[in-house]
Amino acid sequence: MSARPVVIEARGIEKSFRLPVSKISSLKEQITTFSRPEYRELRALRDVSFDVHRGEFFGIVGRNGSGKSTLLKVLASIYAADGGRVRMAGRLAPFIELGVGFNPELTARENVELNGVMMGLERRQARGRLGAVLEFAELEEFVDMKLKNYSSGMLVRLAFSVMIQSDAEILLIDEVLAVGDAAFQQKCADVFHEMRDSERTVILVTHDMGAVEHYCHRAMLLHDGEVRAIGDPGEVARKYLRLNFESAPSSGEDSLGEVADVVVDDAWLEDEGGRRVTNVEKGRELRFCADLEVKRDVEGPAFGFALANADGVEVTGFGVPLAEVPERVVAGQRLRVRATVENRLSPGRYVVRCWIHRNHNIANLVLYSPHVLDFVVYGKEEPGVAFFEREVRLELRGGGDR
C-alpha cells in the first residue's frame, strides 16, 4: 500500500477554538460587556500529521471531542486551519455528512442535480447520473416526489447513492454506516468492500471498531487533538479501547460525552473451566462476563448488552433481568454480570456493546459503550449472520423407473 502515491498529505495541522465563557451574539451584549469577554482556548488539533495513499480506506477513531470531526472539516475546507498545511491530489467530495445539501422543498430529480453540482459535476453530467442514483437507492418511483415527503430512510438512501455516483476520488465519511434498513445496510457494506479495492480513497470517521477493523487498511487514533497511534486498524482499535476504559472514571467522558456513573472495568468470555478465551468455536455456548464499577449512585439501573457482527449488525442482545437488579447501586459497588448465551453466530468477528440506563428508562443513558469486548467465532463458514440446527432430507418419490 505504501507504494501507492500519496493523495492527502497533512503536516502539523493546528486548530484552536476560542470559546467565550458566555457567548456574545448580539450587539447590545458586545457593547455592554465592557471588560474584554473571557475566552477559553480549546486546542482541537495539535500538530496532526499523516499521509493517506491512493485507494486506501483510512479510519480515524477517537472519543467524542478528540478532534475527529474538526480534522474532517479542515480536510474538507469547511474550517480554516490555524497552522500547518494540507495538500491533496484529486477531487474531494465536499460533504462530511449525508444529505446536508438536500432541499426538502425540491423533488428528488432536482436535488440530485443540485447535489451533483455541489459535488463538482457539470449540470448535464449531474442530470445524466439521475438514473443510476435512483436505481441504487431503489427510489425510481419517487423521482418527482418532494424530499419533505420522503421517510428518513429513503433520504439516507438517496444521499448515499448521490455520494457513490459522484466522480469524487476522495470521500470523507463521518459515521454513516448505520443507515437505512438491513437490506440497504448490506448494500452499503458491499459498496464499502468494493471501494476498499478500488482507486477511490475513503476517510472514515467512526466509533465502530468493528467497521474499522473490517474495512480499513490503516487507521489513526486521535486523542485530545493529538495523533496517538497510526497504522494497523486492529492495533489502533485496541489502543482506542484501552484509552476508553483507562480514563473512564475521572477525566472520563464515555461516548456520550458525559462522566460515566458506571464503568465497565473488564469484560471477557470464558470456557467451561472458567479460563478466559478470545475465540469460541461455532455452536459452543458463550459465557460472557463483565465487571462493572459504580462511580456514582444510580437509581433503578438497567443493564443491556448486544452482540454485533463485523458489519455493525446487531445479531442478538440480552439484558440483566430486573429481578436480579437492586433498586439502586451506590458508589464504590462492584458488580459482575454473567451471561450464558446460546451460540448461533456464524463464524466471524463480533463486538459486545453495552448500555446502562437509570430509572428503568432507556432515555436516561448512563453509559453506552460501543465496544466492551470483541471475540471471534471460528468454524465452518455459514451463510447469513446466524445459523440454526437443521435437518434437511431429500426423498425420492417414485418415477424414473429403469
Partner 1 sequence: MSAEAQAPAQALELREVRGPSATGGGRRRFFELLWLISATEFKKSFHGTAFGYVWSLVRPLMLFAVLLVVFTRIFRFNVVNYPVLLLFNLVVFGLFQEGTGAAVSSVLAQEGIVRKTQFPRLVIPLASVMVALFTLGLNLLAVFAFILIYGVDPTWTWLLLPLIVLLVLVLTCAVSLLLSALNVRFRDVAIIWTVVATVLLYGSPIIYPITILEASFLKDVLLANPLTLIFEQARVWIIDPSAPSAVQVAGGWLNMLPAAAIYVAACILGVWVFKREAPKIAERL
Closer to partner 1 at the Cβ: 95 or 240?
A: 95
Stretch that binds partner 1, among 24-32, 33-41, 215-223, 321-329 (CB under 8 A): 24-32
In whole angstroms, give the CA distance from residue 372 to residue 265.
9
Question: Does residue 7 interact with partner 1 by CB under 8 A?
Answer: yes
In whole angstroms, give the CA distance from residue 154 to residue 150.
6
Closer to partner 1 at the Cβ: 25 or 251?
A: 25
The three cell numbers locating residue 310: 463485523
Closer to partner 1 at the Cβ: 85 or 336?
A: 85
Find, among 383, 355, 394, 400, the residue nearest to 186 by Cα.
383
Q: Does an H or E element contain 385, and which?
A: none
CB 359 to partner 1: min, Å: 34
Q: What part of residues 148-207 is at the interface with partner 1 (CB under 8 A)? A: 199
The string over 215-235, giving b where at least 16 C-beta atoms fall within 10 Å of a residue's C-beta and e elsewhere, is bbbbbbbbbebebbbbeebee
Closer to partner 1 at the Cβ: 10 or 219?
A: 10
Stretch that binds partner 1, among 20-28, 153-161, 349-357, 373-381 (CB under 8 A): 20-28
Which amino acid does the sequence have at 27? L
Burial of 381 (0-12, 13-18, 19+ CB in 10 A): exposed
Which listed residue (14, 42, 54, 344) binds partner 1 by CB under 8 A? Answer: 54
Which listed residue (22, 26, 151, 250) binds partner 1 by CB under 8 A? Answer: 26
Q: Does an H or E element contain 158, and which?
A: helix 152-165
- How many other CB atoms are found less than 10 A from the CB of residue 398? 6
Mask 337-376, x = binds partner 1 (CB under 8 A)?
A: ----------------------------------------
Question: Does residue 100 interact with partner 1 by CB under 8 A?
Answer: yes
Which listed residue (60, 81, 352, 372) binds partner 1 by CB under 8 A? Answer: 81
Cα–Cα distances in angstroms (integers) from residue 105 to residues 110, 144, 149, in the given order: 10, 11, 9
Greatest CA separation for the chain: 106
Closer to partner 1 at the Cβ: 55 or 301?
A: 55
Which listed residue (56, 113, 254, 293) binds partner 1 by CB under 8 A? Answer: 113
Name the residue with cell 467512526.
Answer: 206
Closer to partner 1 at the Cβ: 88 or 289?
A: 88
Is the Cα torsion angle 152, 158, 161, 163 positive or negative in sign? negative
Stretch that binds partner 1, among 34-42, 58-66, 80-88, 352-360 (CB under 8 A): 80-88
Closer to partner 1 at the Cβ: 75 or 351?
A: 75
Three-class DSSP category at 78: coil
Helices (H), 197-321: 209-215, 233-246
CB 184 to partner 1: min, Å: 22
Question: Does residue 78 interact with partner 1 by CB under 8 A?
Answer: yes
| Interacting residues with partner 1 (CB under 8 A) | 3-7, 9, 17, 25-28, 30, 54, 73-81, 85-90, 92, 94-97, 100-101, 103, 105-106, 110, 113-114, 117-118, 120, 122-123, 199
